[in-house]
Chains A and B, each alone.
Chain A
Amino acid sequence: MKRSSRAAWWLLSPMLAMVAVFAVYPVGRMLVLSLFAQNLETNLLPVFSGFDNFLRVAGDGHFWQTVSRTLLFAGLAVGSELALGLASALAIHHSAVGRGLARTVALVPWVLPTSALALAWIWIFNDQFGVFNDLLQRLGVLREPFPWLGRPRAAFFALVMADVWKTTPFMMLLLLAGLQTIPAQLYEAAAIDGGSRWQRFRSITLPLLRPTIFVAVVFRALQSFGIFDLVYVMTGGGPGGATETVALYTYRNFMRYLDFGYGAALLVTGSVLLMVLTGAIWLALGREGRPA
């Protein structure tokens, strides 16, 4: 017994060492750094400053603007992905043909590098030669080309669209896997009882799919709250800061303004917000035993 437990720890030790140095240490380091001023004014030397950085965060209107923008982004993106993903998962689940092909194709947007796709979208949304404008003009929606990435709201919309494009098929795959765990007998029994399609969806599919939806939504919400590469490449936070997200603003405080202590405080604040967001989603979707 003793020997086997020693073996267990030996087998775990490389993983523990890596996690300790490269994941746990950074978290501790960020917490400590957030209590220091370390920037160009201090010649990049650390000077203890207590909670000053956090007071600055509290009064940093620009930061809170990026927070509400990022939340809006996450809400719009995850909401659309969930609606579209659920609709397409149901359609494909009930279709006898083409499931394998659908699964293969649905993986494509998800596995491809976001930075390459961001460039693809810049070209698609190009103001003069972009295919998005061309299609809208051909359909008669637009009379002349529109600078999608050159206007604040339109650029934000373009980012949401690019994100929804990439992750809807992924959402569909997750929900499809969840649908397949629902026993067919339940539907057969409901069909005998004579419930309508909508009733079956409400009383069987949705409640049994709820755990899957919860996991998928948490996962995607966390990801989109921390979104970095898509924004960095596609708009750079522009035009005029209109699409700057929390992650981009935090990164810039570190790497552009060299304000390390403040960047750390932003990061700690962002992480706390992330946990609050997770808690809120859990309250909304994750609790067990809600009436079906």
Chain B
Amino acid sequence: MKAPRRLGGRPWLAVLLAWCLAPLLWQAVTSVKPDAEITALPARYWPGQLTFGHYEALFVRRPFAHYLWNSFFISSCATVLCLAVSAPAAYSLARLKPKGGQGMLALLIAISFFPALTFFFPLYELVRAAGLLNNPISLIVPYATFNLPLGVLFLRAYFRTIPAEVEEAGLMDGLSRMQVMTRLVLPLAAPGLATTAILVFIASWNEFLFALTFMPRDEARTVTVGIAGLSGGSLFELPWGLIGAAIVISVAPLLVLVAFFQRRIVEGLTQGATVD
């Protein structure tokens, strides 16, 4: 019984690998081909000649380094802000259980149901009125906000797995609630905080609608919007080598995260679907 099952898993694995990676590999292949080969017919699946000219052009002739830095800075700040706000809230909901806590959870879940489009225009009005167009703040704060449901729900579940005796012992030793939280609970919850941070970072890095609307100046753009603007106008003669290179670079940080934190990301993504 066992042996055929084992073999049975492999063709699936091959299909899955091809499914998930082929479109990306094609971009990688395109990105290192000289232009003449990119438009060769029939298509060449292996580059005859290697060139890194497209990568060079991306940084020399386009503000791609700006895009990368903006994305990195904005996503990092949003992650820190989101954790700083959601950790105490999650702790409060998990342990101190204030009246109305359930309502708060319901509100957070309701917010996460609606697409970003629901919120973008009023925030756009606020951003404009405050003169914050093209300012990273105008993305950092919304990104942190719209990841609060994820942060609070995930961390609340995580805090509840920490034995209450740990905290009671701390209180007996004369620590205040705040000290219990910051000195005992947060260090124990480090894995949960890390998972949340990774998920918030990824969501912020990938966000498109707010970034498109709040950052009209080219140098202020993030990768997701900047990359879409690389076409330079014409839909029919897009610089495919350049775009391939841009795709490879913009997905690279996320691939690194996946490679190192696969388990945590899966845990974070699937928790909501299987618990409760």
Contacts and interface: CB of A to CB of B under 8 A. Distances in A.
Given A8-B98, A15-B89, A19-B145, A233 B228 contact: yes
Given A114-B206, A131-B26, A169-B20, A215 B272 contact: yes
Which 5 pairs across A and B sit closest by C-beta, in order of nearness?
Answer: A95-B9, A226-B115, A8-B96, A26-B122, A177-B270
A142 to B, nearest CB: 12
Given A18-B148, A215-B272, A247-B117, 6 more contacts: A8-B92, A95-B8, A103-B262, A107-B262, A119-B246, A271-B114
A283 B23 CA distance: 37
B171 to A, nearest CB: 10
A226 B246 CA distance: 26
Given A97-B6, A255-B213, A120 B23 contact: yes
Nearest to B251: A112
Nearest to B146: A23
A174 B269 contact: yes
Interface stretch (A48-56, A60-68, A259-267): A259-267
Contacts of B251: 112-113, 116
Nearest to A172: B16
Contacts of A98: 9-10, 13
Given A107-B262, A115-B208, A228-B208, A94 B8 contact: yes
A282 interface: no
Interface residues of B, number: 98
Contacts of A138: 42
B contacts with A: majority SS: helix
Given A105-B20, A212-B273, A222 B113 contact: yes
Interface of B: 2, 5-6, 8-10, 12-13, 15-17, 19-21, 23-24, 26-27, 30, 38-39, 41-43, 84-86, 88-89, 91-93, 96-99, 101, 104, 107-108, 111, 113-123, 125, 141-142, 144-146, 148, 152, 177-178, 181, 202, 205-206, 208-209, 212-213, 223-225, 227-228, 230, 238, 240, 243-244, 246-247, 250-251, 254-255, 257-259, 262-263, 265-266, 269-270, 272-274
B1 to A, nearest CB: 10
Residue of A102, A109, A119 most packed against chain B (CB within 10 A): A119
Nearest to A18: B145
B16 A228 contact: no
B141 A108 contact: no
A contacts with B: majority SS: helix
B20 A108 contact: yes
Contacts of A26: 118-123
A168 B270 CA distance: 14
A102 B122 contact: no
Interface of A: 4-5, 7-9, 11-12, 14-16, 18-19, 22-27, 29-30, 33, 88, 91-92, 94-98, 100-124, 126, 128-129, 131, 134, 137-138, 165, 168-170, 173-174, 176-178, 181, 212, 215-216, 219, 222-223, 225-226, 228-229, 232-233, 247, 250-251, 254-255, 260, 263-264, 267, 270-271, 274, 278
Contact of B259 (A88, A102, A104): A104
Nearest to B248: A116
A7 B209 contact: no
A226 to B, nearest CB: 3
B9 A19 contact: no
B98 A5 contact: yes
